[in-house]
Structure 1
Amino acid sequence: MMRRVAFPVLLVLLLAGCATTPPPVSPEEAARPMIAPKQMLTLPRPADLGRSVQAVQLITFRRDDQTLVFEGHLSITPERLLLVGIDSLGRRTMTLTWTETGLTAEAAPWLPPAVRPGSMLADIVLLYWPAAAIRASLPPGGELIESSNRRQIVLDGNTILDIRYGFDIGRRWSGRLRYANFSWGYEIEVQSEESGP
């Protein structure tokens, strides 16, 4: 039986939509990798991750009194990142594909119009890409503070992301991480199981 998988990106899209209910945006605007209001990440390449990954994830999103749980599949190769999300009813909620040529997203009609694929992708990069790639991608005034199991993204002296890993950064994605985005006002818990050697 095929296992269903979850991904942080779909969650992040919903998070961004739930944070302040911004007005609907164009597809071009939604594809911008925003990490905070008016703060854009310059995306590295999928290959900059430094390896290929296939991961099954269970994502739990919390904001105020809301809790959302998603399943999904995250596949990363040097050529592309593919994210497929499944809701609790087994319906496909989103397919996100990122290559060096850009980002494409297909979303189910029931997702909020404020869901932003670009912000979801930006969060995935900040969670998993190597420190050097992240530092080169941050907007002016951005800083990455990292230890073996924690990352903080600081913009102009304010912490906007605080990520705590249940596994060492750079190792297999098997375990739990918790992550708070103070700019958009949500917390996420990701339980990952990386497949393959």
Structure 2
Amino acid sequence: MRSILILICLISFSACSGFQPNTTLPDRSNLTYWSNEDEKINVVQQITGNWKGQHFLLQVYLTITLEKMDVIILDSLGRRGMTASWNNDGMTTWKAAWMPDYFNPQYMMWDIATAFWPKELLEEDLDNIWQIKDTGNLREVFYDGDKVSSVIYKNVEDSIWTSIVILQDHSFNYELNIKSREVSQ
């Protein structure tokens, strides 16, 4: 049975000189959706972030099945800020008008893939100019030799879905602390 694969939440790039994310990030539609063979996964994430000295808090709900992944992102007041649905046919997204421009649903999905997809799948979808290095609890993503992403994994128990992930992005100058918990249906 063909595995389509799972992914999940958020942002990763790190230390780059001259990296222009608007022109060098890969087309998000080229990334393959990923899920476990026949397991449904429900995940709740609390994300605290810091971008250019501004702090923010997000609550994320993910449902991942063989057919698709649905993502709902709420702000600290419980308002729905973004949604995304991703399957093998592509991605549909929605963003509330009040959300700042820098919260881009497609970038958020890119960050999910960078942080939570298996290295092998990510490498299949990216051009050769991209390189991914996994060493224990650290993932680094390079573009044309420059490090653009760092993902630090902490407290990974039985599953990546029950962990703490720190994503650092120096091209957009932000850091996210993602606490994930798998929940029952």
Q: TM-score range by the shorter chain?
A: 0.7 to 0.9
TM-aligned CA deviation for residue 190 of structure 1: 0.2
CA 1:181–1:123 in 2, change beyond 3 Å: closer, same or farther?
same
Could you tell me which amino acid in structure 1 is paired with residue 149 of structure 2?
L
Q: CA separation in 1, counterparts of 2:158 and 2:121?
A: 13
Equivalent residues in 2 for 1:115-126, closer than 5 Å? 115-126=103-114
Unaligned ranges ≥5, structure 2:
1-7, 12-19
TM-aligned CA deviation for residue 196 of structure 1: 3.9
1:173 has 2:161 as partner: yes
Bigger helix fraction: 1
Q: CA separation in 2, counterparts of 1:97 and 1:177?
A: 22
* 1:131 aligned partner: 119
Q: CA separation in 2, counterparts of 1:123 and 1:188?
A: 10
SS of the residue corresponding to residue 83 of structure 2 reads strand
Q: CA separation in 2, counterparts of 1:141 and 1:73?
A: 33
1:45 has 2:30 as partner: no
Q: CA separation in 1, counterparts of 2:70 and 2:145?
A: 33
Q: TM-score, normalised by structure 2?
A: 0.79
What is the root-mean-square deviation in Å for CA atoms of aligned residues? 2.4
Q: CA offsets per residue over residues 131-177 of structure 1, 9 Å max, x none?
A: 11011122331101002311000111111000000144983421211
Q: CA separation in 2, counterparts of 1:133 and 1:170?
A: 21
* 2:14 aligned partner: none
Q: CA separation in 2, counterparts of 1:160 and 1:52?
A: 32
Q: CA separation in 2, counterparts of 1:135 and 1:94?
A: 27
Could you tell me which amino acid in structure 1 is paired with residue 132 of structure 2?
L
Could you tell me which amino acid in structure 1 is paired with residue 128 of structure 2?
P
Among residues 155, 166, 171, which one is paired with 2:143 in the alignment?
155
1:74 has 2:74 as partner: no
TM-aligned CA deviation for residue 110 of structure 1: 0.3
Looking at both structures, which has the greater relative contact order when contacts are Cα pairs under 8 Å and sequence separation is at least 6? 2
Q: TM-score, normalised by structure 1?
A: 0.75
Unaligned ranges ≥5, structure 1:
1-6, 13-34
Q: CA separation in 1, counterparts of 2:157 and 2:31?
A: 19
* 1:110 aligned partner: 98
Could you tell me which amino acid in structure 2 is paired with residue 116 of structure 1?
N
Provide the aligned length of Structure 1 versus Structure 2: 166
The question of whether the paired residues in 2 share the 8 Å contact of 1:36 and 1:183 is answered with yes
The question of whether the paired residues in 1 share the 8 Å contact of 2:9 and 2:116 is answered with no
Instruction: Percent identity, please.
Output: 25
SS of the residue corresponding to residue 184 of structure 1 reads coil
